[in-house]
Structure 1
Amino acid sequence: MNDPQAIQQLVRQAQGGDAAAQEALADLLDQQGRAADALRVLQAAAASGRPSALAKFGLRRLVGHGAPASPAEGAAAIVAAAEAGDPFGLAMAAVIAAGGIGVPLDIHAALTWLARAAERGDPRAVCQLGLMARASGGDPVEANRALGLAADAGFAPARRAVIPPFIPGVADFQRLAAEVNPFLFGPIAPPETVCEAPCVRVVPDLLPAWACDYVMTLAEPGLGRAKVVDERGGESVREIRTNRVVNFGLVDSDVLLELINTRLGAAAGLPAENAEGLGVLNYQAGEEYAAHVDYIPDTPANAAHLAARGQRVRTLLVYLNDDFEGGDTEFVRLKRGFRPPRGSALIFDNVTPDGQVDPLTLHRGAPPTRGQKWVISKWFRSKPLRPVPAP
């Protein structure tokens, strides 16, 4: 909104107590970088009982956007919005329950919220229930019906997963939620150490093919040119990195992605809340990430960043496909490359056992010579990045 008169009118309506105007004004203030002002206006809209404002307010309080974080207050507001049937509130309530973000991890609650979102027509929720119920051994006809409904609504991962022809009708989403196994992916296979110094391990079969397909298809529309951390502590596009990436933050997540996040944390041996958002990398033939390290350089420009967020101590990569040639993760100083099978993870420490950054981890994302490469990238920090439940 750039029209000054329209903005003035919006301000007058918000000051007059119009909750819809308050929510719209808060969004505008946020776009202007005035997070604290936006939070105050949004709080007024939330206090009036407007569910969509309540959900947005809850998210900001949960993560500390515009004011210090208050996870308990934020989670309570999100749940209240979900109970009122707000679509964003339902999605976020499912995410925070599945990830244990500001609330105790509760897969049953997450699935309950997910079923309610599906009943309100959310195709992403419908698809997740269909996929997870099918993988859990639930009714295959009912699961495929859900996937068909989500596919008809235009949700790309469902189009990839549905088995035609599907039998149309009304899916029983509560039944599908009840059929989902909370331990969906099964036990994690023991890691194989492929290098002692730096410590590099391979975990086989960490994610099943259907989950790999879901992540790739979900990520594709949001891909953009990848950036690197520069000497000033910011991020910029550099020619050393020509691949594309999308990062799924809290607001972009869903129940299935949170289950994947939890599994990746367990495989890495570090708390899931210490991880940065799930990144999905795409390398077209010839694209690469030239030799680099994943740890944050300990420079004056990065001092505040490291103090707040901690060092990137461990990297986990999951190869999501295998229909390409080339594309190894090459450790330059070791003169060794690794390319685990589809769904398997490559995990390496970016610091030595005494916590010092390790230059031996200099590595390269080699370009595919044919086809395209898809990889999950997960960086684990020495400090938590997400709010955890109060003890």
Structure 2
Amino acid sequence: MKTFEQVQAAAQAGDAASQDLLAQALEQMGRIDEALAWWMKAAKSGFPAAHAKLGLWQLVGFKLPQNSQEGVARIAAAARAGDPLGLSLAGVIDAGGIGAPRDIVRALKWLTQAAAVGDAQAACQLGLLVGLSGPNAALARTVLASAAAAGSEPARRALGSQPFAAGAIDWAAVGAAVDLSAFEAPLTREDVRASPAIAIITDLLPGWVCDYVMAMAEPALGRGMVVNQAGGESVEDVRSNRVMNFGLADSDVVLELVNSRIAAVAGMPAENAEGLGVLHYAPGERYAPHVDYIPDTPANAAHLAARGQRVRTVLVYLNEGFDGGATEFPRLELSFKPPRGSALIFDSVKADGSVDPTTLHMGAPPTRGEKWIISKWFRTKALRPGPTAAANA
């Protein structure tokens, strides 16, 4: 393995692969501006991984001016060159309709190509999408075994305690066997109240999706934060649970399918949602009574102008087997604890757009067992690039 100094010398001599490697090292060291400079050099030499990274930063407007069309084009070029990061990001873009028209068929093509070049997490997603309980269960098991052997923890969990061995895989057959019916199944909606609007959606997500979301979130959980009086976010005593927020760089095809399913049931554009938040409550942890809307105060003016008001919340309950832990609305004298895979939807504003203080609610602490939920907040403004007429292939 080369030392940092050897990689740096090769990068300075013009080797694009070393420039990319140096940029990765500098990013991990927190030297972001230097990393950007080296990725720019590598991109000028046509190095696909550098284009994928710069494309991501252009999509989200990090260190580069936000330019979704150019970002999508960079990522698509990297994907066509077979770059693993480019393939992964291209799948996310097409599955989520991010800066380009939503195209799930093409997203699955990128995902299959990523798995074929050794991306264990891409293989895991494909195995789960083929289905362990469907007609192609044996194929799904083989794919998941390959992913588990390559280090995918969600694949290991999906396979359970039974032994597994990776075998030869026909990736074209895997792609053809993908079953998206779990994300297209009809839904049952129970309207609880008209004002504030509250509804329960049963069977929004199947169990295997719930398990996958929890497995993906668990390694990155951190203390949950709240919007403070200064308009920023901070750790406060009112919230003791842990959370993982999936941004664009953390997402994947399955998570984008989840995002789209939630947006559809919420009746809101997917791009108006904050990142997929996964909340974990250990026994005794809570989120004290709070509102989801952002108070219209001078301190929050810039925040609201840039990001819009939170108007709708979707909570998806990912597990059962815990006591306590209900979502409680003290001013409405309502309490909810839907079954696994079901969702609670409520509006934080009234029909005229004004905030509704009666939506004060809390995440009560579990008294036994752990509680997992997805939290999705929808805003009045888009938070990431939505579908456009731009093409990325």
TM-score, normalising length: structure 1: 0.92
Following TM superposition, by how much is the alpha carbon of 1:138 offset from its aligned partner in structure 2, in angstroms?
4.7
Aligned positions of 1:225-244 closer than 5 A: 225-244=223-242
Q: Is the 8 A contact 1:293 1:361 kept in 2?
A: yes
Counterpart check, 1:282 vs 2:280: yes
Corresponding residue for residue 136 of structure 2: 139
Q: Is the 8 A contact 1:30 1:38 kept in 2?
A: no
Counterpart check, 1:45 vs 2:48: no
Counterpart-to-counterpart distance in 2, 1:84 and 1:146: 24
Following TM superposition, by how much is the alpha carbon of 1:159 offset from its aligned partner in structure 2, in angstroms?
1.3
Opposite residue 235 of structure 2, the aligned amino acid is V
Corresponding residue for residue 118 of structure 1: 115
Corresponding residue for residue 389 of structure 1: 387
Aligned positions of 1:114-193 closer than 5 A: 114-134=111-131, 137-162=134-159, 164-166=162-164, 168-193=166-191
Q: 1:266 to 1:334 in 2, by over 3 A?
A: same
Corresponding residue for residue 70 of structure 1: 67
Corresponding residue for residue 328 of structure 1: 326
Following TM superposition, by how much is the alpha carbon of 1:206 offset from its aligned partner in structure 2, in angstroms?
0.1
Deviations, residues 61-108 of structure 1 (Å, cap 9, x unaligned): 222222332111111111111122211111111111111111111111
Opposite residue 326 of structure 1, the aligned amino acid is G
Aligned positions of 1:1-391 closer than 5 A: 10=8, 17-20=14-17, 22-23=19-20, 24-25=22-23, 28=26, 39=36, 41-134=38-131, 137-162=134-159, 164-166=162-164, 168-391=166-389
Counterpart-to-counterpart distance in 1, 2:29 and 2:198: 42
Secondary structure of the residue that 1:279 maps to in structure 2? strand
Deviations, residues 256-285 of structure 1 (Å, cap 9, x unaligned): 000000000001110111111101000011
Q: Is the 8 A contact 1:327 1:369 kept in 2?
A: yes
Following TM superposition, by how much is the alpha carbon of 1:132 offset from its aligned partner in structure 2, in angstroms?
0.5
Q: 1:348 to 1:172 in 2, by over 3 A?
A: same
Deviations, residues 190-213 of structure 1 (Å, cap 9, x unaligned): 421112221111000000011111
Q: Is the 8 A contact 2:188 2:203 kept in 1?
A: no
Following TM superposition, by how much is the alpha carbon of 1:352 offset from its aligned partner in structure 2, in angstroms?
0.7
Q: 1:16 to 1:167 in 2, by over 3 A?
A: closer
Secondary structure of the residue that 1:353 maps to in structure 2? coil
Counterpart-to-counterpart distance in 1, 2:91 and 2:236: 37
Q: 1:225 to 1:206 in 2, by over 3 A?
A: same
Following TM superposition, by how much is the alpha carbon of 1:30 offset from its aligned partner in structure 2, in angstroms?
9.3
Counterpart-to-counterpart distance in 2, 1:95 and 1:390: 15
Secondary structure of the residue that 1:191 maps to in structure 2? strand
In the alignment of these two chains, the number of paired residues is 384
Opposite residue 53 of structure 2, the aligned amino acid is K
Q: Is the 8 A contact 1:204 1:344 kept in 2?
A: yes
Q: Is the 8 A contact 1:136 1:180 kept in 2?
A: no
Deviating more after overlay: 94-103 vs 173-182: 173-182
Following TM superposition, by how much is the alpha carbon of 1:350 offset from its aligned partner in structure 2, in angstroms?
0.7
Opposite residue 304 of structure 1, the aligned amino acid is A
Q: 1:322 to 1:259 in 2, by over 3 A?
A: same
Counterpart-to-counterpart distance in 1, 2:231 and 2:56: 26
Q: Is the 8 A contact 2:230 2:299 kept in 1?
A: yes
Q: Mind listing any 5+ residue stretches in structure 2 that lack a counterpart? A: none
Q: Is the 8 A contact 2:132 2:138 kept in 1?
A: no
Q: Mind listing any 5+ residue stretches in structure 1 that lack a counterpart? A: none
Following TM superposition, by how much is the alpha carbon of 1:40 offset from its aligned partner in structure 2, in angstroms?
5.4
Q: 1:138 to 1:132 in 2, by over 3 A?
A: farther
Opposite residue 219 of structure 2, the aligned amino acid is P
Deviations, residues 14-55 of structure 1 (Å, cap 9, x unaligned): 6664434544358737966765x7655533321211111111
Counterpart-to-counterpart distance in 1, 2:259 and 2:349: 22
Counterpart-to-counterpart distance in 2, 1:180 and 1:339: 32
